Every structure is written in C-alpha cells, then in structure tokens.
Structure 1
Amino acid sequence: MSAALARLTSHGTDRRAAADAFRTRHHGGVIGYVGADVPVEYLTAAGLLPLRLSGDPGTPSTDGDRYLGTGLDPAARSVLTRLLAGDFGPLDGIVVSRDSEASLRLFYALRELRRVDPALALPPVHLVDVLHLPHRTTTRYVRAKLGQLRATVETWAGRSIDDRALADAIGAHDRLRELLTRISALRRSQPARLTGTQTLTVVAATTALPVERATALLEELLTEADHLPEHEGLRVFLTGSPHDTGHVYTALEDSGLLVVGEDHDWGDLLSLRRTAAPTEAALAERYQYNGPSAPRASIRARAAHTRRAARECGAQALVSYARVHDDAPGWDYPAQREATGLPSVLLSRQPYGALGDEAAEALAGLVRTTQPTGPRARAEAAR
C-alpha cells in the first residue's frame, strides 16, 4: 500500500484521531456535522474543523433506540448513541442538515436532550435546511438559511467570517472535490487501481481532516497512482442507502464484486458539484443543486443520474442496497434498472453495515448470470 493511501486509510477508519490532533493544536474548535447538505465552507472559514459524524454498525445503539425509537434509520440511531457516549470527543457545536427524516428527528432529539438534561453536556446544535427545487425562490430561501448558519458559526467561533476568508474556504473545498473526483477515477480505470472500499475510506478521511491536510494527502496519492496494485471483479454500480462506513463495501467486494461507482453522499455525490464562484450566492446554489440523493430527488432524476454515472464507470451490473427503514431506494430501483439496462439486484431491508443471508445468495446469483458462457466468450473474457 502506498504511503499516502496508508495514511488516508488510517484517518478514514479512525476519524476521531484527526479531530483530537486539531483539538490539541487549536484548543477546541471541532464542529460535528450530519449530512452532505451542511456547507462546511463556513466552518473552515471560521478556523473550525468540520467533522462529519458517522455511526458504528458493530456497536448496539441502545441509547439512540431509546430516544429515537427503533423504527428510524439505524445509522441515525447509531450516531446519537455515539454522541451520548462521547465517541467523537468534545465538540463545540453540531450542525445537522435536513437531508432526510432521520436527520431531522436526530436534530430534534439533540436539541431536546440538551434542554432537559444539562448533565449530558451536549454541545449547541443548529439545523440547516437546504431545499433542492430548481426555483429562484428556493435559492433565496437557501441563502437565508446559509446566512443563519453563518451567524451561528460566528458565535461558536467567537469571530466574524469575512468574505475573503469565505472565498478562500470555498476555493479550498472545491479543490478538494476536484481531487476526490480524480481519486474516484482510479477505481473506474480498467483495471482498477483502487477498490470501492478503499475509495470510500479515502473519502471518509477527507471529512475528518482539515481541508489543507486532506488536499495534500490526495495530491500525494495521485502521484503514486501508477504504483498502486490492480484490482479485478464484476464491476458494479451501487445505488440505494448511503454508507457511512466501509462494512457493506467490504462484504460486496469479498463476494467477487468491484464497486466502481455509487450515488450516495458519502461517495461520488459528495464531490460531484463545484461552486461557480467564490461567493455566498454561488455557494447557496451549489448546495441547492447538489445531489440527486435518494431521500430528496425525484425518481426520474435518480434514474437519469444512475444511467449516466454507471456508463461512465464502465459498470457491468447494478446493485441497489436498501437499509432497513429506508424505503426510498425501493421506489427508485425499477426506473434505475430500466434506465441502465444492466443485470441488477435489489437488496431490501438490509441490516445496518451488513448483508443478510438472502442478499449474499442474490449477489452470488448476479455473479453467475453475468459470467461469460461458451468457449469463445470465456476466451474473450480472459483476454
């Protein structure tokens, strides 16, 4: 493994370590956030570290279940459990985006727990509501919400955010998105230079590191790209529920698949869109038109995006993974299957961070049906 990939993998799997290092150097200043609709540029411009909060599929979400109920997305319940356990270290604030019903309910739970039980020592929490309709009135609404976030962040940081600092932060995060797009291309190459699991872990690392450090490590990794090992497998495009850990990717790739692309916001969707100009107005439009995510976009928009992205990845099959209590992927899947025309499978009601027994059988069937048949086909595949 290359030196840069090893460091990024370490940061991606132990994301608190980067936050602890920042906290030590700056005597605090770490802000947790939930959802890709949070404009992290404001946090960077204020000299704070944006730390995207993730769950832990391997740990029972007892406290999260108590306060959110068991009928909600288990990823959100896991995040609340980890916050109450102090797994992320001391945070100076939490920003939650209204990107899904689960995120919204998480915000309300955090706000109420902070109010009724000061002993929990939860930090202040702010909700940012980004709408994704293609209207000028929507842009004005989003700009107003971003203005409220800016004011809140200034209060937390104890300093104002001037336009120059915001412009620099916009440029820095757009540079990071550009590099992430180039990193993702390494798994789309044939043969692939990164696995889907490695790519997802690299992306996760960049949501825990200061933007300058993340950028430097990605640049270093790109210089080492020619020396990365080659990876083979049935090339699949993954759609459906988002994945805040690499557990499912690892299970998929252990079964003979190679995840060459996805359409959730812990993966390619996180870096898909740039900011047209280093201004607050352009930043509002960047987040307004970001996506299309499963909870917020139309079936038609999702299908069109999946068709285009799967083709660009050279995908040979489509896998839709729907976590328990996440119904949106099931509505999208028929249109996505028809749009791509690829051999496909829907894995519904899956446990958080894992594949059920029936899912493993369905994937084995997908691999069998996509294998070349006949001597000539096998010979062409071998070449």
Structure 2
Amino acid sequence: MATALAALEEAYARRGAPPAASKDRTDGRIDGRAGDRTPVVGYVGADVPVELLTAAGVRAFRLTGDPESGSALADRYLGGGVDPMARSVLARLLAGSFGDLDRVVVSHDCEASLRLFYALRELRRVEPATGLPEAYLVDILHLPHRTTAQYNRRRIGEFAARLEAWTGRPLDLAGAVAAHDERRRLLAAVAELRRAVPARLTGRQFLAVVNAALPVDQHIALLERLLAEAGQLEEHAGRRVFLSGSDHDTPHVYEAVESEGYVIVGEDHSFGDLSLKEPIGAGGLDALAEHYHHSGPTAHRATASERAAHAATAVRHCRAELFVAYCRIGDEAPAWDFPAQRAALDIPAVLLERQEYGRADLTALRKEHPCAV
C-alpha cells in the first residue's frame, strides 16, 4: 500500500482538474432539476465558505491556473495588468479544462478575483457560446467594524439560501462544519511536522498535503494516516525559509526555491498556513460569517503593520532562518509590506519582486543569502 504522503501528493497532482464522475447519489440536482450525478462547483478565492459547499452535498474544488499553458485567450477580456493567476484560471475555464461545471463561486478576496467574477458574468451574458457556467460572488469584507460583520452575515445567509435553491435540499451545516474543523485540527498537527527541526516535510510536500483534491472525509482519513506514519518521514535539514507574499496555486516556485537547498517551513498565503484557520465550532451561520470576517492577514486586506506583526510571530513559530517575500507581476500589494516586515524581523530578509507566474528568479537570493544544496 502506498504511504499516506504518496496518496496525498497524487491527489494534489489532480488539483484543478474535474472531479471524477460520481454516481454516489441518485438525487443530484441543480436548480431543482433531477439528475444522476452530484453537482460540481468550482470556486476561486480564499473567502469562499467551503463549509456551505460541503453542507449542500456538491462536489467542490478550488480552481487553479497553469503557468505552462499561457493565458492569451483570457487576456482579451482581462487585459495584461491583472494577476496572471486569475487570467490563467479564466483561460482554463474558456478552454473547458475544468470539465462540466454546474457553477463557479468566486470570493472578493482580492481585486483579481473580483475582476475574474465580472468577466465571467459578462461573458456568459454577451457571449453565451463560450459555454461558461453561471458565476456567483461571495462578497466577504474584512474591515474591523460591526457594520462589516452584519454585511458579511447577510452575504453568508444569501449564499446558503442560494445553495438550497440550487440543490433543492436543506443544508447539513453542523455536519459540514464539524468535518472541516476536524480537517483543520489535523492539518495544524501536520504543520508541526514541517516546523520540526529538522523538518519532516518540505514546503512542496506540505503544499500537496493541504491542497490535495479530495472530499473532506477522504482528506481526513489520509491526514490521520499521515500523522500515524510520521515516524517514517524523511528529515530535511536545509536552510529554513519563511515564504511571504503572493499566493501559490501550483508547486513551481516551491520546487525552484527548495532545489537550491532551502526548506520552506512556513508561509502567509491562502494555499498554505493561512488556510489553517481557527475552528468554527457551534453557532451556525453567525459563527461561519465571523470566521471568514476575521480570516487573514493577506497582503490584499491587512495593513502593513498587521502583516509585519504576523510575520514576526510566524517566523519565530516555525524557527525560520531566512524571510523571502515573493511578489508576482500583477500582484504588487505584497511588496508594499516588505519594509515593515523586514523591520519587525530578527532574521535576514530578501525581496523577490516582479516575478513571472510560476517562475522564480532567485538571483537576489543566491547573491545575498546563498545556500549550498
């Protein structure tokens, strides 16, 4: 039998691909129409309340880009100034790379996601021949105000009602929240394996573990196995790096950095450590809205001082020896935080600015902080 880590990496290799056809329900529905398969929903952004998708009984997966396939088709609609990760997702949707999606749910976690939503909505309206699925926006805000909390609660409630209307069945919110909280608990335990000295997981491996394309119950089972097999994991003794900045929906940058002899032991983007949020617990939609209201802090919705404080705490927690801020072309916000982050740290820091999507020009890293393989 393959190890749990191997199974999780295999599932990660399927990320962003259409889920396997499922006949495990005979009452699959979307908009009340009976069918013989479970509805499939793709989602974009860190603020989509995935617990509601699980509660609705749909097959949900996070849409990701592909640096190797280009985005020329999407650039006609989004232009070249939008984060290339969002442009790549749109290009893949237009090419049908995600299979037969019933819906796309987009969150307002950053400007690029919002631009993607508007493009999807207008393309479906003015160019129906594209065959794009209907897009729905979950507009969660993060200002520290009571009115923002009330706004978010209304948006969460509207999304829950829309899911019930789509599927024609009530949501099992309590069961879904319990399952996702258990997955968060297990992922937090796995994160400690990477923070160990020496690390028992590389950054690339941790990325695979967190983002394995699996239903939550299957993910939980493999995480339990991984923790049980922790004593068999290889040790990784490279120079310990905390990676800040842009999101990474593919492993390309992690592989480039770690091929130089570094080990990424922490990060502050939504495909990594920032996805390991506090548990929601009881409280229904109110607790769910509060949970997403206070998620972060990402470069797109937190102040430089908040990001700097988070960096200082996280660096100490994972015992990093080097802080690397990676900023992609079209995603300039993380670079604005770097001076405050560097000032708050007691370890060396380097900025890798204006990087190509899925690429890492490590010239500055090699020059200022070399690490022998």
- Shorter chain as denominator, the TM-score bin is over 0.9
1:67 is displaced (CA, Å) by: 1.1
Structure 1: distance between partners of 2:325 and 2:14: 28
- Decide which of 178, 184, 190 is 2:185's aligned counterpart: 178
TM-score, L = length of structure 1: 0.91
- Decide which of 127, 132, 136 is 1:122's aligned counterpart: 132
CA contact (8 A) 2:78 2:119 kept: yes
- Decide which of 83, 94, 97 is 1:73's aligned counterpart: 83
Residue in structure 2 matched with residue 85 of structure 1 by the alignment: 95
How many residues matched?
361
Is 1:112 the equivalent of 2:122? Answer: yes
Structure 2: distance between partners of 1:290 and 1:268: 12
Q: Going by fraction, where is helix more abundant, 1 or 2?
A: 1
Structure 1: distance between partners of 2:154 and 2:78: 29
Amino acid at match of 1:13: A
2:76 counterpart SS class: helix
CA contact (8 A) 1:28 1:92 kept: no
- Decide which of 277, 292, 309 is 2:297's aligned counterpart: 292
1:20 counterpart SS class: coil
CA deviations 1:111-168 (Å, max 9, x no partner) are 011111222221111101111122222111100000111122122222232xxx1011
Amino acid at match of 2:116: L
2:211 counterpart SS class: helix
CA deviations 1:277-313 (Å, max 9, x no partner) are 2411111100000000110111111111110011000
Over the matched positions of the two proteins, sequence identity in percent amounts to 55
1:365 is displaced (CA, Å) by: 2.4
Residue in structure 2 matched with residue 4 of structure 1 by the alignment: 4
Give RMSD over aligned pairs.
1.6
CA deviations 1:210-235 (Å, max 9, x no partner) are 11111111111111111011111110
1:132 counterpart SS class: coil
Structure 2: distance between partners of 1:168 and 1:146: 17
- Decide which of 345, 351, 365 is 1:363's aligned counterpart: 365
1:354 is displaced (CA, Å) by: 0.6
Structure 1: distance between partners of 2:200 and 2:221: 19
Structure 1 ranges of 4+ moved more than 4 A? none
Residue in structure 1 matched with residue 29 of structure 2 by the alignment: none
Residue in structure 2 matched with residue 35 of structure 1 by the alignment: 45
Structure 2: distance between partners of 1:59 and 1:202: 24
Is 1:349 the equivalent of 2:341? Answer: no
CA contact (8 A) 2:243 2:268 kept: yes
Structure 1: distance between partners of 2:312 and 2:277: 15
Which 5+ residue runs of structure 1 have no aligned equivalent? 372-383
Is 1:54 the equivalent of 2:71? Answer: no
1:19 counterpart SS class: coil
- Go from structure 1 to structure 2 and tell me whether the alpha carbon gap of 1:55 and 1:105 turns closer, same or farther (over 3 Å shift): same
Amino acid at match of 2:346: G
Which 5+ residue runs of structure 2 have no aligned equivalent? 26-36
CA contact (8 A) 2:243 2:325 kept: yes
Residue in structure 1 matched with residue 14 of structure 2 by the alignment: 14
Amino acid at match of 1:363: L
Structure 2: distance between partners of 1:62 and 1:16: 19
Structure 2: distance between partners of 1:100 and 1:187: 28
CA contact (8 A) 2:47 2:109 kept: yes
Structure 2: distance between partners of 1:61 and 1:329: 23
- Decide which of 192, 196, 209 is 2:199's aligned counterpart: 192
CA deviations 1:195-223 (Å, max 9, x no partner) are 00010111111xx3111111111111111
Residue in structure 1 matched with residue 307 of structure 2 by the alignment: 302
1:2 is displaced (CA, Å) by: 5.8
Residue in structure 1 matched with residue 176 of structure 2 by the alignment: 169
CA contact (8 A) 1:171 1:278 kept: no
Structure 1: distance between partners of 2:177 and 2:354: 38
